[in-house]
Structure 1
Amino acid sequence: MEKLDGKSLDLVQTNIEALKKLFPEVVTEGKIDFEKLKLILGEEIEKRNERYEFTWHGKTQAMKLAQTPSTGTLRPDKQSSKNWDTTENLYIEGDNLEVLKLLQKSYFGKIKMIYIDPPYNTGKDFVYKDDFRDNIKNYKEMTQQTTKANTETNGRYHTDWLNMMYPRLKLARNLLREDGVIFISIDDHEMANLKKICDEIFGEDNFIAQFVWKSKLGKVGTTSTISTTHEYILCYAQNIQMVTFKMIEKEVEGRKENLRQWGQADRREDRPSMYYPITIDGVTVYPIKDDGSDGRWRVGQETAKQLLSQGFLELTNKGGKYEIYRKFPPGFSITPHDTLLLDDIGTTAKGSIALKKINMHNYFDYPKSVELIRFFCNLCTSDPSIVLDFFSGSATTAHAVMQLNAEDGGNRKFIMVQLPEPTAENSEAYKAGYKNICEIGKERIRRAGEKIVQETGKTDLDIGFKVFTLDSSNVKTWDPDFENLEQTLLDLQNNMKEDRTKEDLLYEILLKIGLPLTTAIEEIDYNGKTIYNVGFGAVLLCLEDDIDLDIVHEMMKHKSEHLSPKVIFKESGFINDSVKINAIQTLKKNGINDVRSV
């Protein structure tokens, strides 16, 4: 029986396996021979010491941090959730670095769009330091204390911000689909630095655009400095060759255009092939300019013949002067969106108006507008798509996804991730009973969803969300002691923590084997014990004590008809070793070879 690995996706090993697949000849005794790799890459190797690069103190550690697996878990919180049994949306409370690591197996290459509004590093917002050795412990300490701003007097002002952003963007890229895109809001404080690290992480060739958004209204009265009214949104692709955006479609009325080119420089000698006769209604016309000199037509002779045969050319006679017009029928024009996002997209003031409609406008100073994020969702997502925001804040992204689904009948799903930053005791949010940002965000989604249903009358919208909270592993040997990660999961007979439930362990297993947190789960009651049927028989679990062969036979009744399932037990749950051995043999005889334990 294979023991289930308690770690999130090992990105280093994943990269090594990809390298082996691309260049099998560079593998010697299971290791990468870098000398052979250099030979294969030939002239693409940069040998000079002096070359263009962007670096800062701590960059190497930031890169390692992105590659270090997490041994934490996400625990279900049904009480804070809405429509738990039916929703496919997620709200995750926790440090987004660890959450992104935990999502790697289950959501690798599955996210269509990421939008984030990270700290702008203005000197007032919260930029915290990660702990390379134990980030779960670090996260718990952060949520117990008042958050601190990264002031401009800090000697590592830009460095701390870069060290926070780099590993998170590195992990985010893995989650994007091949046709996926990321949008990142930022202002002048870190715009230049963000562009450089995104060029490195996503590749300069995958840069799509730098949007300029009119985020604020201009200052009233006189000022000695310039009034800054805009922010930026950087957009990168996972693979720019695979990305398509929706275009602007406009209905165009029918019109006519003189086929004769009018300009002063439009001479016959400049484009001789465009000078030819056209005969229509028995009249032959040449492109003669107003001064009597030879001019030219707007189209070539073959095109003119085709237009004539299709009835798109019309002869006119004004005072004995003949002209030929090309007729354009009514239709649609298609043009791309541009990078200037002005008043029609909505300022932060409109973001406050959206919150005012649900009576939550006093809790955030500069909320993003629903129109802005809805614009990006509409630009690049279709049905079905998953939209991720791992700096969720006021949960505007969730609001925008629900709003767009109501408008176009889509079925987009959202994943919100937010650190439960404490609210200030003198704030309106704290006075209203919201002790951290996550409490505000969840309530905003609840109210916004109900408001959308009320305004549209569409009762089939998914306005629910499953809440999960970041925590240490449910299994004692999975605690993040990095010096002991090699210990097996089953060193202890009772290896589950006393304050954890079977359902806690169930969702940890889903993460560790790579199944989405919204996978369908059926609970089967058999003689007072619970069997979990996950993904319509794809995974069968029993995490009970006193497991006997009757339970094993019952589990086999629910296996998938199309594929051999994974079967997972609690190692210490069998009545005795004899039953465990017989269970494994029984499963193998029935074609089930993937049997694991926790």
Structure 2
Amino acid sequence: MEKLDGKSMDLVQTNIEALKKLFPEVVTEGKIDFQKLKLVLGEEIEKRNERYEFTWHGKTQAMQLAQTPSTGTLRPDKQSSKNWDTTDNLYIEGDNLEVLKLLQKSYFGKIKMIYIDPPYNTGKDFVYKDDFRDNIKNYKEMTQQTTKANTETNGRYHTDWLNMMYPRLKLARNLLREDGVIFISIDDTEVGNLRKVCDEIFGEQNFLGVLIWKSRQIVDSRNKTGLSNDHEYVVVFCKNIEQFSLKGKLIDISKYSNPDNDPRGPWMSNSILGLANSSQRPNLHYPIFEPKTGRKFVPPEDSGWRYSKETMQQKIDEGRIIFPIKDDGRPREKKYLSELGSRFTGFSSVLTDEVGFTLNGSREVREIFGGKYFDFPKPVSLVKSILEQSSEKNSIILDFFSGSATTAHAVMQLNAEDGGNRKFIMVQLPEPTAENSEAYKAGYKNICEIGKERIRRAGEKIVQETGKNDLDIGFKVFTLDSSNIKTWDPDFENLKQDLFDYKDNMKEDRTKEDLLYEILLKIGLPLTTPIEEIDYNGKTIYNVGFGAVLLCLENDIDLDIVHEMMKHKSEHLSPKVIFKESGFMNDSVKINAIQTLKKNGINDVRSV
């Protein structure tokens, strides 16, 4: 019986296996021969000592941190959840670095869109302090104390921010589908560094652009420089430029009509003037004449017509040019709905309130809670517009700097509007709220409590306003913790005592359900996989994924339980069967159980 590995996905080994698959000729006795690899790559190797690169103190450690597996787990919290039995949405409390590691096996290459609003490193926001040796222990200590901002007086001001962002973005890329995309909100403080980090992680060729979002409606007159910074940025990278493009904005076909019964169908008028200051092109400066009246029209001196004289005459002959009723008007062109190559126009890189973006996310939070519980949340309309551009109706959306949970709100809102079934995964560190804040006084002791309550209230409000009772407005809550298994999370300071305790290797304060979800993560099943609980003679059998995985994590397992488990196996594939290592009545039962399963075609039998 094979024992399950308690670690998250080993990214180093995964990369090595990919390299072996691409270049089998560079493998010597199971290891990579770098001399052969250089020969295979030929002239593509950079040999010069001086070359363009982006580096900082701690970068090597940040790269290693991304590749170091986690031995932690995510524990279910049904009490804080909503619609646990039916929802496909997730809310995860914990350090997003460890959570991203734990999601690698279950969600590798499954996320369509990521939106994050990380700390801008303004000197006031908190920048995570990772611990290379034991980040789970570091996380627990961090959540018990008041978080500290990364002030500009810190000698490693930008370095600390880069070391925080690099491993998280590296892990995030793994989770994206090949046609996936990431949107990252940022401001002037770190936008340059963010671009360089993303160029390295995602590849310069996969850079889509930088959106400029007008984040302030009123000009700031208090700025000492006299320049009011009224905008922020959203940096956009995709996983594979060959497989991704934004949808663009849907053309409003209500603007098209056919008042003159044109046989070519509905049309709308369009200017035929050329670009301003195009006076250097004399071939675009000529008079045109209305066929019926002979009226003469000339273009402005600083412009000109859009088309050459020959093309314009052809359009006049075909009846595509509309002449004005009044002499002081200008001719226009018919643009036909039937001739549109696409019903979409390009998505503008400039996001302003004039094109429908609500600027005040703080007002939205106040309307939900009745108080100022969160500083500078992003507006729902901003995130929703990004979702419209980059997601499909059944996509999985990830936000691992969830904050006030604007992304979850936007997902539910868009699903209500277009009939979608998008699922969200929110990840947030439970940063304590300040004791003098409105949120703390209202009973919200950390940011996660605000985020979860916002999802609850926003979901109910959306259902009330739309009347759509079939929307998924629930979420399963999971919390980051150390492993449920002692052997996967040894206490090296008390190792002798641990060895005596391993007869039952599950920690005393953990439940079978805690262990169940840890196993799902470690074998690579999503946390929303359907689970049926079967009660057999007072013991629980878990049927996961309609017979894909069968588990019994009880004590005193006998052959009757094994026979009952086999009744629930999948008809289409051989299932994994998992027991607790110390759960069998005796070694004889364990051996007979394995043999019985093998005789019935089940060879993948594991223990924890």
> What TM-score does the superposition give when structure 1 sets the normalisation length?
0.88
Secondary structure at 2:360 match in 1: helix
* CA spacing shift, 1:484–1:341, aligned 2, 3 Å: farther
**Equivalent residues in 2 for 1:215-230 (5 A)?**
215-219=215-219, 221=221, 224-225=224-225, 226-230=227-231
Cα distance, 1:241 vs structure 2: 1.0
Give the residue type in structure 1 aligned to 2:447: I
Q: How does 1:500-515 map to 2 (within 5 A)?
A: 500-515=510-525
Cα separation, 2, equivalents of 1:7 and 1:85: 27
1:89-137: CA deviations, max 9, x gaps? 0000000000000000000000000000000111111112110000000
Aligned match of 2:243? 242
CA separation of 1:480 and 1:69: change in aligned 2, threshold 3 A: farther
| Kept in 2: contact 1:109–1:176 (CA 8 A) | yes
- Measure the CA separation in 1 of the matches of 2:31 and 2:122: 46
Aligned sequence identity (%): 76
Cα offset for 1:157?
A: 0.7
Matching residue of 1:363: 373
Q: Paired residue for 1:92?
A: 92
2:122 corresponds in structure 1 to 122
**Corresponding residue of 1:408:** 418
Task: State the match for 1:4 in structure 2.
Answer: 4
Partners of 2:247 and 2:344 within 8 A in 1:
no
Q: What SS is found at the alignment partner of 1:240?
A: coil
CA shift in 2, pair 1:259/1:505, >3 Å: closer
| Matched AA of 2:252 | K
Q: Does 1:18 align with 2:28?
A: no
Distance across 2 between alignment mates of 1:372 and 1:481: 47
Tell me the distance in 1 between the aligned counterparts of 2:353 and 2:490: 49
Separation in structure 1 between the aligned mates of residue 599 and residue 201 of structure 2, nearest angstrom: 48
Secondary structure at the aligned position of 1:55 is classed as coil
CA distance in 1, matches of 2:133, 2:223: 49
Corresponding residue SS for 1:416: strand
Structure 1 residue 58 corresponds to structure 2 residue 71: no
Answer yes or no: is the 8 Å Cα contact 1:475–1:489 preserved in 2: no
Equivalence for 2:538: 528
1:557-587 CA distances to partner (integer Å, 9 max, x unpaired)? 1111111100000111111111111111111
Shift of 1:52: 0.5
The list of structure 1 runs, each at least 4 consecutive aligned residues, that deviate by more than 3 angstroms after superposition, is: 219-224, 255-268, 311-316, 324-334, 344-349, 480-485, 488-491
1:142-291 equivalences in 2 (<5 Å): 142-219=142-219, 221=221, 224-225=224-225, 226-248=227-249, 249-251=251-253, 252-253=255-256, 254=267
Deviations 1:214-243 (A, max 9, x none): 112233656542111110000000001111
- Residue in 2 aligned with 1:297? 310
- Tell me by how many angstroms 1:255 deviates: 5.2
Q: CA deviation at 1:477?
A: 1.1
The answer as to whether partners of 1:546 and 1:574 remain within 8 angstroms in 2 is yes
How far apart are the structure 2 equivalents of 1:504 and 1:540? Answer: 16
Whole-Å Cα distance in 2 between the matches of residues 591 and 364 of structure 1? 56
In the alignment, what sits opposite 2:434?
424
Indicate the residue corresponding to 1:74 in structure 2: 74
SS at match of 1:358: helix
Q: Deviations over 1:506-541 (max 9, x none)?
A: 000000000000000000001111000000000000
1:245 CA drift (Å): 1.7
So what's the TM-score if we normalise by structure 2? 0.87
Q: 1:257 to 1:411 in 2, by over 3 A?
A: closer
The SS at the match of 1:19 is helix
Q: Give the structure 2 partner of residue 564 of structure 1.
A: 574
C-alpha separation between the residues in 2 aligned to 1:390 and 1:165?
11
Q: 1:466 to 1:596 in 2, by over 3 A?
A: same
Structure 2 segments unaligned to the other structure (5+ residues): 257-266, 285-290, 292-297, 300-307, 326-330
Q: C-alpha distance in 2, partners of 1:352/1:70?
A: 36
Cα 1:55–1:94, aligned 2, differ >3 Å: closer, same or farther?
same
Aligned residue identity for 1:499: D
Structure 1 unmatched runs, 5+: 269-279, 281-288, 319-323
2-structure distance, mates of 1:326, 1:146: 64
Counterpart for residue 272 of structure 1: none
Aligned residues: 565
User: Is the 2:412–2:472 Cα contact (8 Å) retained in structure 1?
Assistant: yes
- For residues 15-40 of structure 1, what are the alpha-carbon distances to aligned partners after superposition, in whole Å with 9 as ceiling and x for unaligned? 00000000000000000000000000
Q: Which residue identity is paired with 1:128?
A: Y
Displacement, 1:335? 1.4
C-alpha change, 1:233 and 1:580, in structure 2 (3 Å) is same
